[in-house]
Amino acid sequence: MLNDIKANLQTMRFSLLEFSGSLGDLGTFIPLVAAISIVTGMDIGLILIFAGIFNILTGLLFGQPIPVQPMKAIAAVAIAEQLLPAEIAAAGLLAGAIVFLLGVSGLISKVEHIIPKSIIRGIQLGVGLKLALKGISFISEMPLVGLNSITIALSIGLVILLLKNKKRFPAALALFSSGFLILFFLEPNVFSQFHFSLPSFQIIIPTADNWLTGFTKGTLPQIPLTLLNSVFAVCILSGDLFPSKQISTERMATSVGLMNLIGCGFGGLPMCHGSGGLAGQYHFGARTGGSVVMLGVIKLLVGLFLGVFAMQLIQLYPLSILGIMLIFAGYELAKPIRDQKQISNLIVACSTALGIIYFNTLYGFLIGLSIFLFIKLFSKKKN
């Protein structure tokens, strides 16, 4: 492990472009963290502290931009059903334990070989389109004209699109900063409320009821999503983007498991490594582990000293800019579908994606798998 860190440190870059790329997953990170903090009362300072620590560690250990994002199924249930912090912690701890055991035992690789690549590509396509559609919904809620409007969102998005291929242009940093510029003109008083605040560290001990609720409502729907999108899909996408630094599913699963076993009992949010976040970071220029190390340091410092102020800013951050960030991240995630040349593979991938869009990741996977097995059975009978 120490040798890996030393080798990765030698290849890290701490440039403006790397930092810009690290911001590419904030389109999903910010709204989920803000919503959970508002609805459940979880301390955003603690959430940012643990997310920052894990960003730094993953950058050092993997040597490439591997994002740290909230577990989406748990986050969605927590927001929709107003779960208690102890129930969220229980869901994350149980999910972390299951994924960790699959990783360290090597069983994850056996599961990996069972799932066809066309289904993985379908998951990437479905999640990517869902991210883009969420971004479009954010923008569509805005007025046509104004500082936080459809016109501004499309104009900024067009400029970023035209300039994103400029190697030295930090597109995501410019996009993210434009949101704060808009916020400054819309809500100038919020910046005058700047102040330091320390988080209140805590140990969360779930009760028996918390464990049961967390498992049934959070862990069960999260496990398939974590294995498919945060382990298998992110490893495949990482291999596509960084062929010389292929990450095994065992390492990825172990990393996801440890993040939750370490952080969830102390006020951290259940976290994973999402393929959508990796797509967004790469799209905006992240190429080395230095990108997420820089992002982690900022999250850690903000969480330690500016948690309350950061919460105020996040609650008011323009949805039009978040929407553009989600659209770009979704496009980057969906792009690998292009390597599915055979009609049968495209049918499986697109069916999986449609299931994800209209239902959820688990149903999309089951639909794609059913069609894959049907095509395989039909082909055998034909032969």
Domain boundaries, the chain: 2-337
Phi, psi for residue 12 in degrees, rounded to 5: -70, 145
Angstrom distances, CA of residue 271 to CA of 175, 257, 356:
25, 9, 21
Query: Which residue is listed with tokens 């989406």?
Result: 72
Confidence of residue 347 (pLDDT cuts 50, 70, 90): very high
pLDDT of residue 81: 80
pLDDT of residue 168: 64
pLDDT digits (tens, 9 = 90+) for 93-114: 999 999 999 999 999 988 877 7
Report how far residue 266's alpha carbon sits from residue 344's, in angstroms, rounded to the nearest whole number: 47
Report how far residue 253's alpha carbon sits from residue 250's, in angstroms, rounded to the nearest whole number: 5
Whether the CA torsion 60, 48, 94, 237 is positive or negative: it is negative
Of the given ranges (23-32, 164-173, 308-317), which has the lowest mean pLDDT? Answer: 164-173
Phi, psi for residue 272 in degrees, rounded to 5: -150, 180
Phi, psi for residue 61 in degrees, rounded to 5: -80, -35
Amino acid at 160: I
13 CB-side CA count, 13 A:
13
Report how far residue 86's alpha carbon sits from residue 109's, in angstroms, rounded to the nearest whole number: 32
96 CB-side CA count, 13 A:
24
Q: Is the pLDDT of residue 50 over 90?
A: yes
Burial status of residue 221 (CB atoms within 10 A of its CB: 0-12, 13-18, 19 or more): buried
271 CB-side CA count, 13 A:
34
| CA dihedral angle for residue 215, residue 219, residue 224, residue 226, rounded to 10 degrees | -160
Report how far residue 74's alpha carbon sits from residue 167's, in angstroms, rounded to the nearest whole number: 37
For residues 327-332, average pLDDT: 80
Q: Is the pLDDT of residue 167 over 70?
A: no
Q: Please work out, in degrees rounded to the nearest 5, the angle formed at the alpha carbon of residue 374 by the alpha carbons of 370 and 375.
A: 120
Which residues lie across from 70 on neighbouring strands? 271
Q: Is the pLDDT of residue 311 over 80?
A: no
Share of the chain above pLDDT 90, in %: 41
pLDDT of residue 109: 83
Confidence of residue 159 (pLDDT cuts 50, 70, 90): confident
**Structure tokens belonging to residue 118:** 């066309």
Polymer length of the chain? 383
Which residues lie across from 69 on neighbouring strands? 272
Confidence of residue 151 (pLDDT cuts 50, 70, 90): very high
For residues 328-339, average pLDDT: 81
Confidence of residue 198 (pLDDT cuts 50, 70, 90): confident
**Structure tokens belonging to residue 132:** 């883009």
**Over the chain, what is the mean pLDDT?**
87
pLDDT of residue 27: 72
Report how far residue 304's alpha carbon sits from residue 286's, in angstroms, rounded to the nearest whole number: 25
Contact 46, 267 (CB under 8 A): yes
Phi, psi for residue 125 in degrees, rounded to 5: -65, -45
pLDDT digits (tens, 9 = 90+) for 248-299: 999 999 999 999 999 999 999 999 998 888 988 998 889 999 999 999 999 9
Which residues lie across from 197 on neighbouring strands? 306
Report how far residue 75's alpha carbon sits from residue 344's, in angstroms, rounded to the nearest whole number: 34
Report how far residue 383's alpha carbon sits from residue 379's, in angstroms, rounded to the nearest whole number: 6
Contact 214, 89 (CB under 8 A): yes
Report how far residue 13's alpha carbon sits from residue 170's, in angstroms, rounded to the nearest whole number: 14
Share of the chain above pLDDT 70, in %: 98
